[in-house]
Structure 1
Amino acid sequence: MTIALTACSGSSGSSGSQSAKALTWGMWIAGNADQAAWQKVADAADADQSGLKVTIQGAPFNDYWTKLRTQLSTGSAPCIVSLQSLRAANYTDQLVAIDSLAKKNDTDLSAYDTTALNGMKVDGKLYALPYDTGPYLMFYNKDMFEAAGVAEPKPGWTVSQFEAAGAALKAKGKTLFASTAEDLGLESSILAYNDGRVISEDGTLNATDPKFEKGLDWLASLVKKGYALPASADGSNDDNEFVSGQAATYTDGPWSLITQKAKAKFDLGVTTLPVGDSTQTTFSAGSGFGISKQCKYPDQAYKAIVSMTSEKTLGELAAKGRAFPGRTAVQKDWFDNAKIDGAQDVFATALKGAVPLPGNKNSDQLGQLFAQYGIQAVNGQQSGSQVMTQISSQLPK
């Protein structure tokens, strides 16, 4: 089940229905379990500010961004806005830079994970307090590897070792990898493969980077060789193929690890992305809570997001496996709850070569174009160069 967007604190859904004691919060929500977990985060803000009521507006992840942009453009945006680091640059024109609020409230920003905090900055300004972070990783099915007589992947494994595992699994009638055409998965895998990237460190968009095009061709070769399942237009298809045992590996963030472990009917492991001719191991990304410019009560909203990202709140989320915390003091709680052998070593290895995935004002559109056209490259219907030329032609120059 998914949760439909609700009105903004009252029937009109407009910013005019706000009050100092009634704030709305927009969040991506996948179902009832998500709703319950995030309600406790809203409750934490309510408890810290007497008489406050934070009401969640929920939407499925992919719908959230479309609806948020619509709300921001029509004056019906929530006060508190959930934000992904790679999409932060898309929304800064409608968000409050919170540096002065952090200073005014004596917020100790050093308590937040540095990578997570930097991910919430655009042009040096802070637009959200992070609640989660982490390097993009590869999840794997330990039972499938063992049954095929293939050694479990160790942190730092290479593209050659990855493909060798693919050949061995294929010989046993199994498939190594569940492909994806989603932006973070594509960009992280190709960065680790050959340093290809469509967004440079400074946020400049280069949709026809030759290395990135070659990275798409490599992903297509995995499908052609029978080492990978074709990508699907359904963004959650690779997750489902992995959990159902159709593929031995797939890529995802630490925010999904404990949830996937609970779903899987096999022993789940985690390792780094396979590295080829690259100096980087993966991208890191995270999410946080910011304030829309339409919010008439930014001081109250700021105090709410401090409570929503407090050590206590994030520690509780970590203990339940909802998010790898954006505060360093409670990251151990997440590892303790995950109970996955070697997870801390995997994270340490990944983070040594990880770089934050930079945002660009066209990141949303790029993600949509990947979903529309990237699938044709991953599945070998067109070359990486052909697909990225198509994508480039539809992006602002």
Structure 2
Amino acid sequence: MSRITKAAATALVAGLLATACAQGSATKGAESTPGGKVTVRYFTFSAAPDHVKDLDTIVAAFEKENPGVDVVVETAPYDEYFTKLQTSIAGGTAPDAFELNYENFVTYAAAGSLLDLGTVAGDTDDSVYAPESLAAFKHDGKQYALPASFSTVVLIYNKDLFKKAGVAEPTADWTWADEQAAAQKLTDKGKKVYGDFQPVQFFEFYKTLKQAGGEFLSADGTKATFDSPAGEKAATWLVNKVGKTMPTEAEIGGTADYDTNLFKSGKLAMWHNGIWQFAGLKDVPFGWDVVVEPGDTTKASAVFHNAVAASATTRHGKEAWAWARFLSSSGTAATTRIASSWELPPVSDQAVLAGYLKDPVPANRQAVFDSLKSIALPPVIKRQQEMQDVVTKELSNAAAGRASVKDALATAAAKVDELLR
């Protein structure tokens, strides 16, 4: 099995801001079907619901430069996306091109579901990408996806609630203890106002584990190592918020976007979430800002990467590659992302990045780049989704009081070890 090494993944992020941005026709040499245009179906999760129009802008620019191709966009929310994608692949109805996150890339590449882009590539100038970024989306030496964007997780907070409670706003120097103390003061269960929201799940756990000084997997990637004192400290940090400074599982009741609605309604003081939320918060009726997430023994921020791949069964490989190339490296795509706060393009064009920092909401956008100084990358294995589900399930059991933190971690570690065999 091919794994993306931790060193390579760290290098990927280090090189994100050292890439180049290029504009130009991506379909030189591409062939259209006789008698009409080629239709490329593109499936994405990151565009919906806030950036569909932004994607439409990129599609329009691509189609103008490539008049022989029509791009048809299909979207699904993240929590449904991979189930739908897997079903379409299994049923022989896979889209021509689709979005993949860094965590799931290995699974799809290893399963033979992706087209080797090197077999259809037209423009072979790879200088528009950081070498490390391209390498992260290779499998067995072949390029199966093109890196398109990255995003970070920050602490989003309601300035008005802090002011009303007389609590000092978060700073970059905050620790878990500072966050906990503020969350307790900001929580008013009588008014259904909560001080904090940090989901008790895999994506928050591997990050808080890093903040506590622990590691998720052994150096060679063959054994789970999160069943440790640092792991217990991280899991306890998450679990202990439930029912105290954040809602319980029963109160949330499986409601989709519960935390988003809670924050937008002015009932949540602090929210651990990603920069992809910025666009949806533009019109909330209260002041808000962001800061680098608090740490424990060290700082560690989650950084996510998305890429564009093509289906191994597509009949329009050249056109799918052309679209992937344009969406991931064109100037139109980069400037559109920046202008709309739709994650960040992996570009080195300082003028483009400066536009991101000039946007006044939130004011402390510098925190997005500061978070890149201390990175917690997700562990990646072949059976990725199963690993994520196992860890989330056992942490949920601990949060609901169905198991102790120690027992939950022991059970999760044993199950992850089985997945690694």
TM-score in terms of structure 2 length? 0.78
Partner residue of 1:66 out of 67, 83, 107: 83
Show the counterpart of 1:293: 312
Say if 1:171 and 1:24 are closer, same or farther in 2 by CA, change over 3 A: closer
- Correspondence 1:282 to 2:301: yes
Instruction: Please give the per-residue CA displacement for 1:158-207, whole angstroms capped at 9, x wherever unaligned.
Output: 11211221233248975321131343233323322x13343567655627
Identity %: 22
My pick for the range that moved more, 325-334 or 301-310, is 325-334
Show the counterpart of 1:340: 362
Separation of aligned partners in 2, 1:171 and 1:50: 58
- 1:180-219 correspondence to structure 2 within 5 Å: 180-192=199-211, 194-199=212-217, 204=222, 206=224, 208-210=226-228, 211-219=230-238
Separation of aligned partners in 2, 1:172 and 1:289: 44
Do 2:200 and 2:239's aligned partners in 1 also have CA atoms closer than 8 Å? Answer: no
Say if 1:235 and 1:171 are closer, same or farther in 2 by CA, change over 3 A: closer
Do 2:58 and 2:336's aligned partners in 1 also have CA atoms closer than 8 Å? Answer: no
My pick for the range that moved more, 67-76 or 203-212, is 203-212
Say if 1:362 and 1:285 are closer, same or farther in 2 by CA, change over 3 A: same
Say if 1:209 and 1:241 are closer, same or farther in 2 by CA, change over 3 A: same
AA matched with 2:206: E
- Correspondence 1:22 to 2:39: yes
Partner residue of 1:54 out of 60, 71, 78: 71
- Correspondence 1:144 to 2:144: no
Separation of aligned partners in 1, 2:40 and 2:96: 6
Show the counterpart of 1:179: 198
Separation of aligned partners in 2, 1:22 and 1:380: 51
Query: CA-atom RMSD, angstroms?
Result: 3.0
Partner residue of 1:386 out of 404, 407, 413: 407
Say if 1:75 and 1:230 are closer, same or farther in 2 by CA, change over 3 A: same
Separation of aligned partners in 2, 1:79 and 1:205: 36
Say if 1:301 and 1:149 are closer, same or farther in 2 by CA, change over 3 A: same
Separation of aligned partners in 1, 2:395 and 2:134: 30
Show the counterpart of 1:80: 97
- Correspondence 1:91 to 2:111: no
Alignment length (residue pairs): 372
Residue ranges of structure 1 left out of the alignment (5+ in a row): 1-18
Q: Secondary structure at the match of 1:285?
A: strand
AA matched with 2:363: D
Instruction: Please give the per-residue CA displacement for 1:206-264, whole angstroms capped at 9, x wherever unaligned.
Output: 2753233431112122235x2333354446222222222222111112122232x2253
Do 2:151 and 2:343's aligned partners in 1 also have CA atoms closer than 8 Å? Answer: no
My pick for the range that moved more, 116-125 or 312-321, is 116-125
Partner residue of 1:312 out of 326, 332, 338: 332
AA matched with 2:263: F
Separation of aligned partners in 1, 2:219 and 2:303: 13
RCO comparison, higher one (Cα < 8 Å, 6+): 2
AA matched with 2:321: Y
CA positional deviation for 1:369:
3.5
- Correspondence 1:106 to 2:124: yes
Show the counterpart of 1:361: 382
Show the counterpart of 1:374: 395
Say if 1:254 and 1:113 are closer, same or farther in 2 by CA, change over 3 A: farther
Show the counterpart of 1:5: none
Partner residue of 2:264 out of 243, 268, 274: 243
Partner residue of 1:328 out of 336, 341, 348: 348
Show the counterpart of 2:275: 254
Separation of aligned partners in 2, 1:76 and 1:142: 47
Residue ranges of structure 2 left out of the alignment (5+ in a row): 1-35
Separation of aligned partners in 2, 1:308 and 1:177: 36
My pick for the range that moved more, 50-59 or 231-240, is 231-240
Do 2:310 and 2:320's aligned partners in 1 also have CA atoms closer than 8 Å? Answer: yes
My pick for the range that moved more, 114-123 or 73-82, is 114-123
